[in-house]
Amino acid sequence: MAADYRPMWTELGMDLKAHDALLDALGKAYQDVFLSQKVRPEGMSYLDFVMSEVHGLRIKELNDARATGRKVVGTFCVFVPEEIVLAADAICVGLCAGAEFGFEEAEKLLPRNTCGLIKSAFGFKLTKVCPYTQSSDMVVGETTCDGKKKAYEIFKDIQPNVYIMEIPQMKNTADRQLFASEYWRFKEAVEKLTGVTITAERLKKAIITVNNKRKALHRLALLRATDPAPISGLDSLLINQVAFYDDPVRFTGAINKICDELEGRIKQNSGVAPKHTPRVLISGCPMSVPNWKLPLVIETSGAVIVGEESCVGERGQRNLVDEKPHTIEGEMEALIDRYFKIDCAVFTPNQDRTDHIISMAKEYKADGVIHYALQFCSPYTVESYLVEKELAKHGIPMLKIETDYSMEDVGQLKTRIEAFIETFRQPAWSH
Ligand code: SF4
Ligand code: SF4
């Protein structure tokens, strides 16, 4: 980071000493995980820049915007519609945290057997190291899994202006009605926060902006179907992670540029790993920055990751909002239609998710699926049984991984993942 952001962090009420420790660890991990990769697309230099300024320039942008009266809305879940936030001239940022930081503090408020995502969000808040949380004028929680739902009741004690959105657990007509009413209620809350009335024109513009971002991510996803894979899973995951922090228009331009470069690579038949490298699809819990452990283990064990069935990935970004409606009612309906399709494991039954994993595995020509569940995450851990059973019917092998943010199990994970990859590695003579 070039500039001195310490006065800004102090003003945000951050603990500079603890924050220095976090940034040191983050910088080192980024160097080891990303900058050490070979044949990275040149366009990834944009992501390197964004990450080097993720607590600096981007936070300055947010706070410069706040100084002009704009608001920042922090979210923990892809069910929160970014379009409504943008339509009120506010800025939407993801707050999920992927590091084992402040867990000791978090465990004073939460049971130890709470998933890492929740503990990390609490840990970041309690140790005052997250400038995004500190910059948020409203934080939106949702009633998805029980852990989150109940944790927000405590989070309200340590974070001002927590808004709770109810998410149903089934997908029947009555559930959709509840979901729709919650979207209208959220629209009103954002209007109240910002003092901006969301008109049809404003919402249309926001829908197009977010659709364009998703189109760029879909374009990237489809390019990864090629063998040799033109980009690593690690870099693709990073792109999907940054999608939650960056300015959407600038981000979309940068990702489309990377896609142009990847198309060039594909024409030249070049990629990040040799043709016939074993191909893996990751499926399961979202991976927030800096949770790069599992993809790193996979891609240093002789495989390439070709897709993420995850909220930080295709589950969160697939499906566009219909841009045809011109009235606010029609646009809200289109928005609700799109978001109600998200197949998070908190829903029951949730056949759509399994169908999607199978279609992704086929489309991206994955040899196998690695199912990732965070320790103590009931929805994804329990659902993995049904996913494995369905994949088996299609002859797709699956490895179940349950882990947390600590690095203690890396050796054990590597052994299991290498053995899994060996089961579908093609012998060199068959190429
Ligand atoms: S996994 Fe479920 S609860 Fe978590 S971000 Fe995705 S939709 Fe939200
Ligand atoms: S990882 Fe699982 S337990 Fe944790 S917040 Fe997400 S759905 Fe809930």
Q: Read off the pLDDT of each residue in 289-298 and give the average, rounded to a whole number.
A: 97
Q: Read off the pLDDT of each residue in 172-198 and give the average, rounded to a whole number.
A: 98
Ligand 2 neighbourhood includes 377 CB (under 6 angstroms): yes
Are 132 and 109 contacting, i.e. CB atoms less than 8 angstroms apart?
no
Ligand 2 neighbourhood includes 77 CB (under 6 angstroms): no
- The residue extents of the domains of the chain are 7-26+60-198
Q: CA–CA separation, 179 vs 339, rounded Å?
A: 9
The confidence score (pLDDT) of residue 140 equals 98
pLDDT greater than 80 at residue 429: no
**Residue 2: band (very low, low, confident or very high) from pLDDT cuts 50, 70, 90:** low
- State the distance between the two ends of the chain, measured CA to CA, in whole angstroms: 46
The confidence score (pLDDT) of residue 431 equals 67
The confidence score (pLDDT) of residue 273 equals 95
pLDDT greater than 70 at residue 165: yes
Residues 6 or more apart in contact with residue 19 via CB below 8 angstroms: 9, 55, 128, 129
**Residue 241: band (very low, low, confident or very high) from pLDDT cuts 50, 70, 90:** very high
Between the CA of 286 and the centroid of ligand 1 the distance, in Å, is 7
Q: CA–CA separation, 308 vs 222, rounded Å?
A: 12
pLDDT greater than 90 at residue 228: yes
pLDDT greater than 90 at residue 430: no
pLDDT greater than 80 at residue 176: yes
The confidence score (pLDDT) of residue 427 equals 72
Ligand 2 neighbourhood includes 148 CB (under 6 angstroms): yes
The confidence score (pLDDT) of residue 336 equals 98
**Residue 426: band (very low, low, confident or very high) from pLDDT cuts 50, 70, 90:** confident
pLDDT in tens, 375-388: 999 999 999 999 99
The confidence score (pLDDT) of residue 97 equals 86
pLDDT in tens, 120-149: 999 999 999 999 999 999 999 999 999 999
Cis before 290 (ω within 30): yes
Counting ligands in written order, the one closest to the CA of 373 is 2
Residues 6 or more apart in contact with residue 67 via CB below 8 angstroms: none
pLDDT greater than 80 at residue 232: yes
Between the CA of 384 and the centroid of ligand 2 the distance, in Å, is 14
pLDDT greater than 70 at residue 290: yes
The CATH number that domain 7-26+60-198 falls under is: 3.40.50.11890
> Which residue's CA is the closest to the ligand 2 atom numbered 3?
377
**Residue 315: band (very low, low, confident or very high) from pLDDT cuts 50, 70, 90:** very high
Counting ligands in written order, the one closest to the CA of 169 is 1
- 400 CB-contact burial (10 Å; exposed 0-12 / middle 13-18 / buried 19+): middle
Handedness of CA 213, 214, 215, 218 (dihedral sign): positive
Comparing 343 with 426, the larger pLDDT belongs to 343
pLDDT in tens, 54-101: 999 999 999 999 999 999 999 999 999 999 999 999 999 999 789 999
Ligand 2 neighbourhood includes 147 CB (under 6 angstroms): yes
- 38 CB-contact burial (10 Å; exposed 0-12 / middle 13-18 / buried 19+): exposed
> Which residue's CA is the closest to the ligand 1 atom numbered 4?
77
Q: CA–CA separation, 89 vs 68, rounded Å?
A: 11
Ligand 1 neighbourhood includes 79 CB (under 6 angstroms): yes
The confidence score (pLDDT) of residue 96 equals 78
pLDDT greater than 80 at residue 428: no
Are 156 and 181 contacting, i.e. CB atoms less than 8 angstroms apart?
no
The confidence score (pLDDT) of residue 425 equals 81
Ligand 2 neighbourhood includes 22 CB (under 6 angstroms): no
pLDDT greater than 80 at residue 114: yes
Q: CA–CA separation, 9 vs 257, rounded Å?
A: 32
* Pair of tokens at residue 129: 């190291």
Ligand 2 pocket mutation pick from 75, 110, 117, 312 by most atoms within 8 angstroms of CB:
117
Between the CA of 346 and the centroid of ligand 2 the distance, in Å, is 9
